[in-house]
Structure 1
Amino acid sequence: MRCKLCINSSENPSRTFDENGVCNVCREFKTNFSQAALDAELSFLKTLIRKDGSTDCLVALSGGKDSAAALYTVRKMGFHPKAFTFDAGYNVISDRQREKIKNVTQILKVPHAYIDARPYISEEDRESFRLTAEFYDSQIEHMDSETVLKMFRDERHCNRPKDKTIRPFVRPCRLCRRAVIRGYYAEAVRHHVSVVFLGINEWCGVHQNNYTAVRKLEPVPGKPVYIVHLPFLIHRKMEDLVPILRKIGWSEDDMDIHIGTGRSGCLLARIAESKATGLLGFNPDETRLAREVTVGFIHRAQALNAVSQQAEPPDTSMMDILISKNILPSFDK
């Protein structure tokens, strides 16, 4: 069974459903969402705009539609951004994406840099990457659904940047998130800014029953950095993207807005989707797309279409990918 409002599956052990077939995520969002909280966050963020015109924020730019539109919007808000693209090796940055990154930053007159994300991968992360590769390369075919579902449920508590848990991850995105958030903070401090904008439609503050768009990081006292999920902050919808993309030089051929899962941008996610979906009973990236339906960013039919597509795994093992991208040393093979 799937939620009547989003696409969350009853196979997911962290989801519960009421008598109307609505999942706990949709119910909690409807009950606790407050527009006033987002309005307050937006007002606060605007106080961080530097009147002298110096760089006052970073914007993550993948070359995709969401991050490109986010960069345009940040400029329209009055910020003076620097764009950056994290490269962890296993994420896919095509030549076409690089071309789009170059074009949009030139049109908006925004400086841009590619940044190696691998220095932000801790030793605990690397060991977890090794265990994850072993899980997908040789162990998962011997696993039963109940065991994999339990692993999936338990690992969602291990994705914070301070977490040092060493374990295999059914959804590698959760492991990658630890290093990426660590990197966001470090790069913000290095660039002497306190705001990092993302084109990801995500909410924060759920455990406080308060849905917000800003995550405050302050591992170093007195040096806070605010990670901003811009689409959620401004209630962006997918149809809002086309006029923005036209303004920043996207061709009409690029206007076919595609909704996809994590496999399109990450080799590890591609392997995970192809091997874990059957055992889980749902796509590992389904929870992200379900959230985007809940907030009104995309339509339910679009999300269902995305998760219905079959992922073709890369023609190599996860261990080989991690070794070739210098995430793991070759003697670990």
Structure 2
Amino acid sequence: MTADNMTADNITAGNMTVGKLFTQRFGFILPRFLREDYSPYQCKVSVNGINYDARTQRIHWQNQIKTWINTGKNPFVQPVECRECLFDTRIPNIYIGADGVCNMCMTYKKNFKQEILDSELQTFLNTPREAGAKVDAVVGFSGGKDSAVSLITARKKLGLAVTAVLVQNGFIPKQVVENGQKLCDLLGVELVVLNIDLAPYVKDMMDNDFKTGYPCYQCTGMFHKAIQDYCIQNHINRIIMGRNWWHWIEPEVRSTRWVTDEASGKKLQLFSLPFVLQLTEKDVYRILEETGWSTVKIHGNSTNCVLPGLVEHQVHRNLGYHPELQLLSREVITGFLDKEEAKHQLSEVRDNTEALRRLVNQKLAERQNAQTEKQ
């Protein structure tokens, strides 16, 4: 081989990089991270650049080295993207294999078994109500398309008696709630609205230029806590989510997460209905159309909350990629969404910094006034 064709991005032998050949033949002398494959979750590092500490930087560097050896492409010069999803080497716990596929795709393919999802569906449907429960399950209903399809499917296809619970974080527009009420009325389902106070957390993140967190992650934790508390109070042991990807990916892909309430000791099932049924985005829109209901149009990767579209510019500027890239990558991996459509959904990033600041200040002022009135 001449010096001319021994560039960092083109050191190959057949379909395999020289680095990969070396790893196979002399792997016993290499560090463990180069010898073994592992899932992103085994890296145990933060995602989306949050708390990018020394350990995270080291793991990220190792995954980039591993990618370079596997593919012959230098991720320190230009990010290397998975050929099947949107994950790339800018994300600390991701590396790309010799076949061009990332470790998240690799883990999903290795651990996915349809029979496990089928078994989880039967377990969910056959779980009896707790004494005192008036419905079979709660549907975590955001007012968006995916949770709407979960609500429709639970009622019309599975025949479950359900209550729709919408957790209002202060950034879900009034018209989304009203639109959600129309769907619940159409299905004969009660809509319960629970309120959480997200604005102070958003203000703190905003003041730190979103280097200390991403509001959607904070909201998710508060959302789950509010719904779980409601279920315990009302003796409900099953929660249906509009999630399009796994709850667990190893040691096997699962749609269900079991949660034990600390105070009561009761166990709850959090069940991802669109995922267990292997619905696609086309299926979702078809079901909505057949039902005669549509979502409110909102900028950003959301059909119910304005926050993702308001913070995307600042977070994108910090990370170098869209903050919702991870979520859409998971949807691509599961087959819910195709890669090109996912890229299209992340292509328009608007700078809504001032609109965000005004809205957060308005929410905090409303919060202060409400506290003053109580006093």
State the partner residue of 1:145.
none
State the partner residue of 1:323.
364
Is it true that 1:134 corresponds to 2:214 in the alignment?
no
Alpha-carbon distance in structure 1 between the residues aligned to 2:192 and 2:124: 23
Gaps of 5+ in 2: 1-79
Q: CA RMSD in A?
A: 3.2
Structure 1 residues 323 and 255: CA distance shift in structure 2, 3 A: closer
Residues 270 and 311, structure 1, Cα contact 8 Å, conserved in 2: yes
Amino acid at match of 2:154: V
Is it true that 1:296 corresponds to 2:296 in the alignment?
no
Which has the greater radius of gyration? 2
Alpha-carbon distance in structure 2 between the residues aligned to 1:51 and 1:130: 40
What is the CA distance between 1:131 and its match in structure 2?
3.5
State the partner residue of 2:154.
74
Identity between Structure 1 and Structure 2 (%): 24
State the partner residue of 1:237.
280
Among candidates 234, 240, 255, match of residue 197 of structure 1? 240
Amino acid at match of 2:228: Y
Alpha-carbon distance in structure 2 between the residues aligned to 1:9 and 1:322: 36
1:4 partner SS: coil
Amino acid at match of 2:81: R
Residues 49 and 79, structure 1, Cα contact 8 Å, conserved in 2: no
TM-score by length of 1: 0.76
State the partner residue of 1:24.
103
State the partner residue of 2:347.
308
Residues 311 and 356, structure 2, Cα contact 8 Å, conserved in 1: no
Is it true that 1:85 corresponds to 2:160 in the alignment?
no
Residues 259 and 303, structure 1, Cα contact 8 Å, conserved in 2: no
Q: What is the CA deviation profile of residues 44-99 of structure 1, one whole-angstrom value per residue up to 9, with x for unaligned ones?
A: 1111355999411111222222111111111121210011211011x22341x234
Q: What is the CA deviation profile of residues 210-253 of structure 1, one whole-angstrom value per residue up to 9, with x for unaligned ones?
A: 21111111033541111111111110111212332233222xxx
Alpha-carbon distance in structure 2 between the residues aligned to 1:55 and 1:130: 38
Alpha-carbon distance in structure 1 between the residues aligned to 2:81 and 2:368: 37
Residues 62 and 93, structure 1, Cα contact 8 Å, conserved in 2: no
State the partner residue of 1:226.
269
1:288 partner SS: helix
What is the CA distance between 1:267 and its match in structure 2?
4.3
2:192 partner SS: strand
Task: Count residues in correspondence.
Answer: 288
TM-score by length of 2: 0.68
Residues 133 and 319, structure 1, Cα contact 8 Å, conserved in 2: no
1:302 partner SS: helix
Residues 130 and 237, structure 2, Cα contact 8 Å, conserved in 1: no
Q: What is the CA deviation profile of residues 272-325 of structure 1, one whole-angstrom value per residue up to 9, with x for unaligned ones?
A: 311121331211111000000100011111100011111331524275255246
Among candidates 250, 257, 260, match of residue 215 of structure 1? 257
Structure 1 residues 329 and 103: CA distance shift in structure 2, 3 A: closer
Amino acid at match of 2:127: L
Alpha-carbon distance in structure 2 between the residues aligned to 1:55 and 1:176: 26
1:290 partner SS: helix
Among candidates 142, 149, 174, match of residue 62 of structure 1? 142
Is it true that 1:48 corresponds to 2:127 in the alignment?
yes
Among candidates 301, 305, 311, match of residue 261 of structure 1? 301
Alpha-carbon distance in structure 2 between the residues aligned to 1:276 and 1:219: 33
1:16 partner SS: coil
Residues 70 and 230, structure 1, Cα contact 8 Å, conserved in 2: yes
Structure 1 residues 178 and 62: CA distance shift in structure 2, 3 A: closer
1:235 partner SS: coil
Structure 1 residues 51 and 60: CA distance shift in structure 2, 3 A: closer
Alpha-carbon distance in structure 2 between the residues aligned to 1:44 and 1:188: 19
Q: What is the CA deviation profile of residues 159-178 of structure 1, one whole-angstrom value per residue up to 9, with x for unaligned ones?
A: xxxxxxxxx21x22122222
What is the CA distance between 1:114 and its match in structure 2?
1.5
- Structure number with higher relative contact order (C-alpha < 8 Å, ≥ 6 residues apart): 1
1:315 partner SS: helix
1:41 partner SS: helix
Alpha-carbon distance in structure 2 between the residues aligned to 1:267 and 1:51: 36
